[in-house]
Structure 1
């Protein structure tokens, strides 16, 4: 991409002179048709190196299908896919050893223990020496908090424990990229915090992480970038902060001189309104420095200035033209086939 962020359908479209970042993965004109059903249609997706990208979308938006094509598990009907510099799916044997993935839930042998299941996975890792398998398995179990339950059969695991074991399998060896489909599914609050910590550690180590989730709060708490899919195409993508700020171009000014600030701004033809903390200035016709300069010159006591941001739930609802559920969460895909 040559823009710092991009939102389609009139939400925002802002250009930047900042050079485009290096990409860990990209798609162009990606399309997948199952008989008469178009699952993905002309998806152009950029995954910057070192980013934590959250993929969001309503049921049937194409998230899982896009991820499967990205990993070479499904061949596109049309378009191009590049993963870690390799064209997919033909370059899968070169790219996938550097990718850890948990897609559509983990699949393990029910009568084997968690530890034995990981040993089987580790034996298939092309870059893991046989002498290093034992330590790699124990390190992965400890990292996801399953050491104490590693001897138990997989069929006795709870949903959250199964998710942890799947994540452990993705982290058996150092990766350049990790793809997680609903990683917090079935986890209690403590487990969710642990997954957040692991994602933060991967990000700090420079690993690119792609997270598909229906928990908007989790995406907002863990991701640096977001891609929103709707009806099989990308309707918005870019840095999370830029996308949230683009939704409401306003400047919140905390001041005890609310009336005085309002008069000063309106005299300078800057739309504004009073708020409980002070005033909100509309930035559609004025830049933030101009607002602050106007207030200071008018002798207004300014305590704090901050850019107004929408939250991810509001942004998602606006982009997909959907309604929020009664519990306050938008209806997004919980990881089923798309």
Structure 2
């Protein structure tokens, strides 16, 4: 936590904690057990107000269960959950009108049209007057690009169209928070770009967005914050830029002699590997000038060298694979 100095009559006092960032949602020590299966284990999650938080993790890591507990759809076995300042699930009636959600795929009546399905959803919105329902439905359909297919039966919709209709149901009225579980599932590239645009618009309006996704490139393109889950626990969370900066330092070298460069660096005890962009040299224990010196003195042509930025894919692999390896080792020690 950052600190700040406070001025008093006697001068500058000792540093005190700076005001905490307001949170749209939080969990503390949350645990969920289904019979003998631990789905979520002591998760402490912070969702800052106005952030776009990407929840990442392998299948079975606890992402959807955590989201369901945030929304009050599942009662935690232990721990505390707050959503928009309300204790969940006890005060869900106060929090949920300000939350739009698409979790585990939309559920609609197959023989009704997309518009008629949305009209039924709109009728259940506590903050939407009856006279405003048709206009709100048409605006939501237009926002997700379904106006032309609004009168088609839902059973004839493609998977991507069903996802769009589910998103429209979450955006019928202005929200303080929107929760989307795999929102780009089944969408083509154009549809994916539309979802990215909608998330950007929500963020610009100050809406807090939580996105669960397995598409790392989409999370990196749209999210301001990230929480990485593995085996039911949070292994990392924070601002995306800070997490990427904390990745292993590396130098990206562009050379026509890439294989020779890797061999030379490894011979000099410098970690290196081939990537689609060139040779990635590890700078954890070796300064960049030393890497270049070794390459040039060995006759390797260096066309360009830049500090490599850790990508979300590399960070995700390091966090989740590291945890898996540690778990496997622990199991081996117990056997």
TM over 0.5: yes
Q: 3-state DSSP class of the match of 2:26?
A: strand
The alpha-carbon distance between structure 1 residues 100 and 146, as it changes in their structure 2 partners (threshold 3 A), is: same
Matched with 1:71 is 71
Q: 1:32 aligns to what SS in structure 2?
A: strand
Cα 1:174–1:35 change in 2 (3 A) is same
Q: How far apart are residue 23 of structure 1 and its match?
A: 0.5
- 1:161-200 mapped onto 2 (5 Å cutoff): 161-200=161-200
CA 1:280–1:232 in 2, change beyond 3 Å: closer, same or farther? closer
Deviation at 1:59, TM superposition (A): 1.1
Q: Contact between 1:252 and 1:307, CA under 8 Å: does it hold in 2? A: yes
Residue 34 in 1 paired to residue 34 in 2? Answer: yes
Q: Which residue of 2 aligns with 1:261?
A: none
CA distance change for structure 1 residues 114 and 322 in 2, over 3 Å: closer, same or farther?
farther
SS at match of 1:321: helix
For residues 105 and 58 of structure 1, what CA distance do their matches in structure 2 show?
Answer: 18
> Alignment RMSD, CA only?
2.9
| In structure 2, distance between residues paired with 1:52 and 1:253 | 33
Alpha-carbon separation, structure 2, partners of 1:284 and 1:242: 21
The yes-or-no answer on 1:133 pairing with 2:144 is: no
Cα distance, 1:78 vs. partner? 0.2
> TM-score scaled by structure 1?
0.75
- 1:162/1:147 Cα in 2 relative to 1: closer, same or farther (>3 Å)? same
**Contact 1:251–1:283 under 8 Å retained in 2:** no
- Length-normalised TM-score, structure 2: 0.76
Instruction: Show the counterpart of 2:214.
Output: 214
- Give 1:24-173 correspondences, 5 Å limit: 24-173=24-173
**CA 1:3–1:57 in structure 2 vs 1: closer, same or farther (change >3 Å)?**
farther
CA distance in 2, matches of 1:19, 1:82: 19
Q: Does 1:315 align with 2:315?
A: yes
CA deviation digits over 1:57-77, x for unaligned, max 9?
A: 011100000000000000000
CA distance in 1, matches of 2:306, 2:223: 21
Q: C-alpha separation between the residues in 1 aligned to 2:306 and 2:198?
A: 30
Closer/same/farther in 2, CA of residues 3 and 191 from structure 1, 3 Å limit: farther
Shift of the alpha carbon at 1:245? 1.1
CA-CA distance at 1:308 after TM superposition: 3.7
SS at match of 2:119: helix
- Secondary structure of the structure 2 residue equivalent to 1:90: coil
Q: Per-residue CA shift, 1:215-262, capped at 9, x if unaligned?
A: 1111011100000000100000000111111002458899xxxxxxxx
Q: What does 1:12-23 align with in structure 2 at a 5 Å threshold? A: 19-23=19-23
Segments of structure 1 that go 5 or more residues without pairing to the other structure are 5-16, 255-270, 292-303, 324-338
* Alpha carbons of structure 1 residues 306 and 200: separation in structure 2 relative to 1, 3 Å: farther
* Structure of higher RCO (CA pairs closer than 8 Å, 6+ residues apart): 1
User: 2-side partners of 1:74 and 1:228: how far apart?
Assistant: 21
Greater Rg over alpha carbons, structure: 2
